[in-house]
A and B are shown apart, each in its own frame.
Chain A
Amino acid sequence: MSKNLKIDVHHITRVEGHGNIVVNVTNGKIEKLEWQVPEAPRFFEAMVRGRSYEDIQIIVSRICGICSITHSLAATKAVEKALGVKVSEQTDIIRILMHYSEQLQSHILHIGYLAAPDFFGVPSVLPLVANALDVVKTIVKIHRVANSWSELIAGRPTHPITIKPGGFTRIPSEKQFRELMETLKSTLTDLKVIAGVVLSIADNIPKFERETEYVSLKQTNPPTYTFYHGDITSTDCNGRTIPINDWHKVTNEYVVEQSTAKWTKWHRDAYAVGALARFNNNSEFLTPGAKEAAKMFGLKKGCCNPFMNTIAQLVESVHVAETSIAMIDKLLTKGLTEEKITVKPKAGKGSGCVEAPRGILFHEYEFDNKGNCVSADICIPTNQNHANIQKDFEKLVPEILDQGQDAVRQKLEMLVRSYDPCISCSTHMLKVQFVK
């Protein structure tokens, strides 16, 4: 048994955010065990203050390069709530389709680029190209479909430009929707291939469990596996929900010494958000194909193994593709119509909530009577997972101490990756040295 461990996964970059894993064990006693997020605050809330309600989405879409559609939708819903704007059923369906495209983009990236190298035992996706070229090509193909799908509806794959309070400035044609529907049918076949590959290496998913509170949206009318509508629930709520406007009662943000990011807690000392949370609250409403995918991996409601979040993402990928095919069919059956957007600024305050790929996301804005923003508050899913990662560390490390330093470090890194924390998307600059 290893009596001493010293792990310091410390990534110093000048501006990009990062997370540190620190473990100190002496004579079998854990002296320090921390998930640290020393990222500089980004002040996005301050940046929207004083700006028109029309500018909010464009600004917040830059918070994240992976979840820019999600931020855009949460913000737009909040603005519409504050200004009392209702949208048509057509707009609602197209927005959900846009949102699903980002779920597929992000999930397939996470499965293929972050989790798969762990499962295959290689350090990154680059060596995976040599070991499993066909798998990487299929992942890239699915990701490319999801990107084109986002571009079709959002105007570009990231940082959307077609969404406005009240509706869209443009939407795809019926022909384009029909083509998308056909493409998604073929994507379902590709997803089945990936599910088969992941299943073949599923034994490498660590067997670890910790009783956890899982928080997500829940939609009851009609009952739906929701990413977009509904109220807030958790696995500790016995099916009850609380309204989106009361989201501060859920997040209860607080500050800890080891992290510059705020932590959150609701009924317990931590909670988790993300695909596994959605699955644990809503899995009975998945599509048949998604239920079949969950069954393949033995993923059942009540799962509290955080490493299975990746499998829940795979299940959700099938769900969004299947659901989107049905939604496009509904749109085409009814036929698309041009709609006039009419929004009048007024004083008001509203909250908007959607499920980002990595968990529930809250935006809140208040406007003066000219429609200029006077206050903003955003709570991202990653901040809601930090405390839970720490609690997972505290249970996991004593269970695997005897596996030695490298195995402990690798499992802790895998655990962090399973949450796919959004901790560094504000900047992506190059850092280079010229070859002499």
Chain B
Amino acid sequence: MLDAYAEGTICKINCDAMKKDVVVLGLGNPLMSDEGVGCHIIEQFLAQSEKYPSVDFIDAGTSGIAILHYLANRRKAILVDCAYMGAKAGTIKRFTPDEVNSTKKLAHESLHQVDVLKIIDLAKQLNQCPQQLIIFGIEPESIKPESQLSKTVTAKIDYYIAAISKDLAL
């Protein structure tokens, strides 16, 4: 995004861009190894975004409840996140919120403790949830302070992109 502007210069721009019909949200923290796989995948998609003119690709990081706003006024949303699913490390699974139960325990002490599935519930209750909502969960191999993905997950990035791309054509 920054590359569009000459380094060293402030550029006034008009970014009144309309929200696109479909959004792909990459969630997680790229400083915690595989936990940030969603952000790494968004980076890959952004490099080829011209192939998907009606799709917004957003690195939502650990923005928590702000996910609610990314979902509003969309026809379709795809969330890509690291997920403990009891599967083999590197496994990608496609599911809808109705197909899973959250086993996450939250202290509800802080805004920093977030369960994405509960945010989706809130979006539904507020009637602000896209008609189609798909989650791609990727089972981590390594979650620790580290800016690189694990070897297992790195080796499968192209496979993940191909799997998610199928949903972008629909």
Contact = CB atoms under 8 A, between A and B. Distances in A.
B50 interface: no
Interface residues of A, number: 84
Given A65-B64, A140-B126, A169-B2, A421 B31 contact: no
A15 interface: yes
Interface in A60-78: 62, 64-66, 68
Contacts of B141: none
Given A338-B10, A416-B109, A427-B29, A434 B143 contact: no
Interface string A365-402: 00000000000000000000000000000000000000
A65 B61 contact: yes
Contact of A147 (B35, B66, B118, B147): B66
B120 to A, nearest CB: 11
A168 B118 contact: no
Given A18-B113, A420-B111, A13 B10 contact: no
Contacts of A339: 9-10
Nearest to B58: A156
A258 B14 CA distance: 51
A254 interface: no
Interface stretch (A171-179, A186-194, A225-233, A273-281): A171-179
Interface residues of B, number: 71
Contacts of B83: 429-432
Interface of B: 1-2, 5, 7-16, 27-32, 35, 58-66, 68-69, 72, 81-86, 95, 98-118, 121-122, 125-126, 128, 135, 137, 140, 143, 145, 147
Contacts of B102: 430-432
B47 to A, nearest CB: 16
7 contacts: A19-B109, A68-B61, A158-B60, A159-B61, A169-B11, A425-B112, A430-B137
A59 B31 contact: yes
Contacts of B109: 18-19, 413, 416-417, 421, 423
Nearest to A65: B62
Contacts of A25: none
Given A66-B64, A424-B110, A430 B84 contact: yes
